[in-house]
Amino acid sequence: MNRRRPPAIGRRQEAGLWPKTGDQRPAIAMPIAENIAAIRSRIAAAAQRVSRPPGDITLMAVSKTFSAEEIRGAYAAGVRVFGENRMQEFAAKAEALRSLTEAEFHFIGHLQTNKAGKAVELFRGIDSLDSLRLASKLEEAAARLGTCLPVLIEINVGGERQKTGVRPGSDELEQLLQAAARLPHLKFSGLMTVPPFTEDPEGARHFFRALRALRGEIAARNLPAIGLEVLSMGMSHDFEVAIEEGATCVRVGTALFGARSGA
């Protein structure tokens, strides 16, 4: 007697991609998978325009405000790196995502120093380091846990008062660069920026170019304990321009998951 093949939802449950209780409808994965395929095609095209291997660029899915089910959908479609910027929100869904063993969750928002300890417990990396004080708190927490935490220095390339991040050439940036060798539990891996928003993606190009130039200036100094392999820049509306200007990680949210509600 022929046995019927179990439905796809059952196989996904076994793999830990869908919950075994509650709403088990997999339909949400289809548009997400299609969006991811389209984004990867655009990443490849942008990379090819400047003779870069598409594999050198990491797609980070910005999953703030999106559910654990939607994150599982992106994971099932091949995404492995996710960005969150709300500590409490992510803590609430972290348990539901524990089965995604290959997923890396990075914190990409402004991190208060009093939440540094919890951030080290929850996240694989902190991509928004913006002060020596925060770096010291992260170092203490990482030392207690016996881990080495990857961090990116957030650069406020546009000098916007309402945004966090250290400005190019500032004392705050120099303090971080000089302190890195004294923070053995932090792995300084590169730079991140959120440029001023412009409707035309081309409006962000000179900001992306400025971050790449800053990385070159820092690299030329050969500072101890400062790695610069990551250049995180570019979001849903301008990531192709960022890739053309050297981004190694693009942070895509709405173009991948769809419009946010209550963001």
Q: Which residues of the chain have pLDDT under 70?
A: 1-30, 261-263
The predicted pLDDT at position 25 comes to 37
In a domain, 14, yes or no: no
CATH number reported for the structural domain that contains residue 195 in this entry: 3.20.20.10
- The answer as to whether 110 is a domain residue is yes
pLDDT of residue 13: 39
The confidence score (pLDDT) of residue 170 equals: 97
Residue 17 lies in a domain: no
The per-residue pLDDT for 260 is: 77
Range of the domain at 82: 25-256
Name the β-bridge partners of 166: 155
The answer as to whether 145 is a domain residue is: yes
Q: How much is the pLDDT for 30? A: 67
**Percent of the chain's residues with pLDDT above 70:** 87
Q: What is the pLDDT of residue 20?
A: 38
In a domain, 13, yes or no: no
- Residue 106 domain flag: yes
Q: Write the pLDDT tens digit of every residue in 58-93.
A: 999 999 999 999 999 999 999 999 999 999 999 999
Residue 144 counted as domain residue: yes
150: in domain: yes
> Considering its fold, how many domains does the chain have in total?
1
